[in-house]
Amino acid sequence: MVAQHANALTTITDKLQSLGILDQSDRDALGSLVFTVNTAPANHDLVRQGEAATSLQVLLDGYACRYKITAGGARQIVSFHLPGDILDAQQLLLGSADHFVQTITSATIGVVPLAEFRRILKLRPNIAEALWRDTLIDASIYREWVLNVGKRDVTSRIAHMLCEFAFRRENAGLGPPERCELPMTQHQIADATGLSAVHVNRVLHELARNGLIAADKPEVKIVDWSQLCRIGDFDPSYLHGAA
Amino acid sequence: MVAQHANALTTITDKLQSLGILDQSDRDALGSLVFTVNTAPANHDLVRQGEAATSLQVLLDGYACRYKITAGGARQIVSFHLPGDILDAQQLLLGSADHFVQTITSATIGVVPLAEFRRILKLRPNIAEALWRDTLIDASIYREWVLNVGKRDVTSRIAHMLCEFAFRRENAGLGPPERCELPMTQHQIADATGLSAVHVNRVLHELARNGLIAADKPEVKIVDWSQLCRIGDFDPSYLHGAA
DNA sequence: CGCAGCGTTGAACGTATTCAAAAGAGGTGG
DNA sequence: CCACCTCTTTTGAATACGTTCAACGCTGCG
């Protein structure tokens, strides 16, 4: 438990340090944070639309996604999340959540009481700036997703999604994009790309036939990274170095 | 010219005040801002992808949009902008722009040197917080757009886009959603919804046939606001009160 | 062992695109 | 003031793309 806590602290500090310049006082403030470590099973909602947050959640291990649903019940995943990602920074300043956050795999989450974190923000503007920068990068990623879902043909669209995930996974220190395994189901890929699961299946097979990926069941593995980036029209500059 | 400057100051201060609590010192700091007022014709790029910003641009009059393009040249509009909107807040903290910003109509823009604005941000944390909140709302709007483009059927999708625009237009003090005229072409609506202009034309006619909108050439006018919201699955809570 | 979820495949269908062509509107210059 | 040019809107027809429906195999878990 102590080891887990130390680990969690490192994760948060590393994340914020990658987003802005922190001095020793900033790191001390982060070190003084009171927080707990929770675990959640796969497909478990961590944030529910309409609810106000009482804490700040940081993904420490496992994968998650954000999603929204239409009145008709159709679900659209709007982003994927990796260890180190802050899952509900928006609740720091906005009222209730406008979307859901759900685990994809089983996950461990660092939970900081909201009042506690707000206190730190007031005292340490560097930390607030780092979080603002994180929000700006999130917004940039959403823009790319609007483009991806709106204008790319299906092969390119799925390839782009895979590239983004593999790239961010590497940035988060989880291994190189080559031989990257993906934790999500084809149904989840469909929800993220605005397609049907059936069609995702066909396109993945097409990509596999062309030697870009390999079905390393039950997951998918990237074989030809540079080709996949070309097909997927993937240029990571929109990530602005995001972890 | 003096009148224009005073007007521009009011626009910026009102915008920030709607996003957070400003005290007198904050307002004084904003009042001390050195800036100029420019005009731009319709369809003119105000921000170009890949370029670093040297100034902060605030839309004072007219309409604008953000867009991205694929390697194949397809264009996707990712947001619309109204008077009061800050057009390149992201450049405050990120490096180069990851997208374009273009005028839809002829427009007037308030331009603040970036160094000048950064100075204010360091001194006035309330202003930084208001801008962060603005970024969070932007991100929420992008999420809704991913859902809109990814999962809504065409009629609903176009209706939602119209509702969002009319709603924000009212919030910006430009008149009620009923009898709201839209400044964009059908081609621009197509670029925003991920459709072809031909099909947008057909759907707009369908909406007109059902008495939801009226073709008040060359623009489109909303007739039955509440029905359009229903058809468009439009719930403004994701705008978090954005102007 | 049986159930549930995920992946896979085929066939029919429907929606939106593409192509093409023409009419309307606004602006410019002669 | 009119003629012309361009951009936008409009319409029809053929086409292509992705969905839907249905069924089955596989895997992991209770």
Both B9 and B126 in one domain: the answer is yes
Of all protein residues, which has its CA closest to the C1' atom of D9?
B201
- Indicate if the pLDDT at residue A243 is higher than 80: no
Rg over CA atoms, chain A: 18
Whether residue A77 is found in the same domain as residue A130? yes
Residues A122 and A170 in one domain: no
CATH code of residue A174: 1.10.10.10
* Distance of A4 CA from D29 C1′ (whole Å): 29
Q: Are residues A158 and A88 part of one domain?
A: no
Separation between Cα atoms, residue B179 and residue B68, nearest integer Å: 31
Q: What is the mean pLDDT of residues A52-73?
A: 95
- Which residue positions in chain B have pLDDT lower than 50? 1-3
Neighbours of B196 (CB within 10 A): 13
What is the per-residue pLDDT across A161-201, written as a single tens digit (0 to 9) for each?
Answer: 999 999 999 999 999 998 888 999 999 999 999 999 999 99
Please give, rounded to a whole number of angstroms, the shortest distance from the CA of B238 to a CA of chain A: 5
Across the interface, do A151 and B74 touch by the CB < 8 Å criterion? yes
User: What is the predicted pLDDT for the residue at A216?
Assistant: 78
pLDDT of residue A2: 40
Alpha carbon distance B23, B21 (integer Å): 7
- B84, A127 in Cβ contact below 8 A? no
Question: Quick check: is B147 in a domain?
Answer: no
Which CATH number belongs to the domain containing residue A120 in this structure? 2.60.120.10
Query: Which residues of B fall within a CB distance of 8 Å from A228?
Result: none
Same domain, A130 and A13: yes
- Asked if B73 has any chain A CB less than 8 Å from its own CB, the reply is no
Confidence band, pLDDT 50/70/90 cuts, at residue A240: very high
Q: Are strands A75-81 and A36-40 parallel, antiparallel or unpaired?
A: unpaired
Mean pLDDT of A210-232: 91
Asked if residue B74 and residue B26 are part of one domain, the reply reads yes
CA of A126 to C1' of D6 (A): 53
Residue A143 lies in a domain: no
Q: Are residues B130 and B14 in the same domain?
A: yes
Asked if B131 has any chain A CB less than 8 Å from its own CB, the reply is: yes
Residue A151 pLDDT:
97
Question: Is B144's CB within 8 Å of A68's CB?
Answer: yes
Residue where one domain finishes, among candidates B110, B135, B160: B135
Q: Is residue A71 part of a domain?
A: yes
Give the structural domain span for B166: 152-239
Angle at A76 between CA A75 and CA A80, to 5 degrees: 125
Longest dimension (CA), chain B: 55
Amino acid B1: pLDDT = 41
Residues B23 and B74 in one domain: yes
Q: Cβ(B146)–Cβ(A149) under 8 Å? A: yes
Q: How many domains does chain A have?
A: 2
Query: In terms of Cα–Cα distance, which of A145, A168, A171, A154 is closest to A207?
Result: A154
The pLDDT, as a whole number, for residue B5 is 53
**pLDDT score for B217:** 73
CA→C1' distance for A159 and C18 (Å): 25
Cβ neighbours of residue B125 closer than 8 Å, sequence gap 6 or more: A122, A125, A128
